[in-house]
Structure 1
Amino acid sequence: MPGYFPTPLIRALRREALLRDARGEFQEAGIGRREDHQHDQRVRRDRTCWLNGSTLAQCRLQEELEQLRLAVNRELFLGLFDLEAHFAIYDPGAFYRRHLDAFRGNSGRVLSVVLYLNQNWSSDLGGRLRLWPEPHSRAVDTEVEPLGGTLVCFLSEHIPHEVLEAQAQRISIAGWFRCNNTTAERLDPPR
């Protein structure tokens, strides 16, 4: 959805990401959860910094995404409960190989969202988001240019995707709407 968010909000979020990066708040991104968490430069080379709702821009973003959550729940009955999100910076040469954001039956992540914060992006700079229609598909369904203000949404367990190598610094926010899988016995049980 190109231009989903207003330009002033995109600029404010971009400034915040760059400021937090300058302060050293970004960390090398990893793959896997809990005891399986690891850093693998062959798979992923971006850096991330989690959103915490501490700034006006983040609060405005959360308000907008809350409206999206309510609309999706109303129309698609997905039972989305909350959102976790981080800034992501892909420096020149960085990428993230094909993956799913959630494993079937093993995560509360239901709907993935990506918001691009780039300014003056051109297609020769790479960094596109490539999406496949299903986990075992070889045919690419679509590629999305990381143009500032564009919002992309897809099902976390079902849509494989990758970030193609960026030729310039690429800045985005990646987030996941979750369902509430908590039980009295276990947090995040299998679905």
Structure 2
Amino acid sequence: MSALSSTPFDGTHNGGTSDNGSNDTLFESIAQGLQTQGYAITQAALPLTLTAGLLLRVSQLPEYQFAVAGTGRQQEHQLNGFVRRDKIRWLNDEHPAEQAWLDFMGDLQRYMNRRLFLGLFSYECHFAHYQPGDFYRKHMDAFRGQSNRVLTTVLYLNPDWETQDGGELVMYRDDDHNEELLRLVPRFGTLVTFLSEEFPHEVLPARRDRYSIAGWFRLNASTNHRADPPR
């Protein structure tokens, strides 16, 4: 079921910063995972204080700040309860914990552009709240030639999460078959990074409240008549 035990580099890394405070060791492990297999899984990726701060932030946000999640962007955006039932709230720089996360992603963006020449231009992300019974059926974050999403990130904010709590991330090898590549329990502090155009994936129904930050690095697809990504 999982490719983690069958590849030379399994993409799994215990996070944290080096003695000089740099994230370069962590970012290099992510780069290696992306380069060899298209994804990386990092446990305890962020300092505990930041991960705990993000959990506190999302758990204290009022319900009215969350919107029912849809599919598609702008004119193609639509709500479809058969496909997904989570609620989302986009992050911004007005809260210290959210700003710290965006700064961390900015550092990752610069490293990946220098190391893998990905041309990442901007980053967008939202808190996702799955209530008991919520799910997100098999989908792609980007389709080849149809989107400028390049790299997906997901940070899980669920302390004491067990397999029986459901809500696993399931990644598939391709979109033509249902062969599972891996199944991941969304435990607190785990960061998943993968190429957006490569892996169909889904979120299985959760059996308790499940929190995460889902985000995407994008290319600059602006034209003379349209800014993309929207600023």
Residue 97 in structure 1 maps to residue 137 in structure 2: yes
Deviation at 1:60, TM superposition (A): 1.1
TM-score by length of 1: 0.93
Q: Which residue of 2 aligns with 1:8?
A: 49
**Could you say what secondary structure the match of 1:173 adopts?**
strand
Residue 6 of structure 2 corresponds to none
Higher relative contact order (CA 8 A, sep 6+): 1
Structure 1 counterpart of 2:199, from 159, 178, 182: 159
Q: Where in structure 2 are the equivalents of 1:18-57 lying within 5 Å? A: 18-20=59-61, 22-57=62-97
Where structure 2 has 5 or more consecutive residues not aligned to the other structure, the ranges are: 1-41
Whole-angstrom CA distance in 2 between matches of 1:33 and 1:183 = 17
Q: Which runs of 4+ in 1 moved over 3 A?
A: 185-189
User: Matched residue pairs, number?
Assistant: 188
CA distance in 2, matches of 1:174, 1:23: 18
* C-alpha deviation, 1:5, in angstroms: 1.0
Gaps of 5+ in 1: none
- TM-score, normalization by structure 2: 0.78
Taking only aligned residues, the RMSD between alpha carbons, in angstroms, comes to: 1.4
Query: Residue 177 of structure 1 aligns to a residue in which SS?
Result: strand
- Contact 1:83–1:175 (CA<8 Å) still a contact in 2? yes
Change (3 A) 1:75 1:133: farther
Residues 169 and 186 in structure 2, CA contact (< 8 A), matched pair in contact too: yes
CA distance in 1, matches of 2:208, 2:103: 30
Query: What letter is aligned with 1:76?
Result: L
SS at match of 1:32: coil
What displacement does 1:138 show? 2.1
Percent sequence identity over aligned pairs: 45
Residue 137 of structure 1 and its aligned partner are, at CA, apart by 3.4
Report the Cα distance in structure 2 between the residues aligned to 1:28 and 1:144, rounded to whole angstroms. Answer: 24
Map 1:136-151; keep pairs closer than 5 Å.
Answer: 136-151=176-191
Provide Cα deviations, 1:91-136, integer angstroms capped at 9, x if missing partner: 0000000001112212221100000011111111011111112232
Q: Which residue is equivalent to 1:67?
A: 107
Max Rg structure: 2
Matched-pair contact (CA < 8 Å) for 1:97–1:162: yes
State the match for 1:106 in structure 2.
146
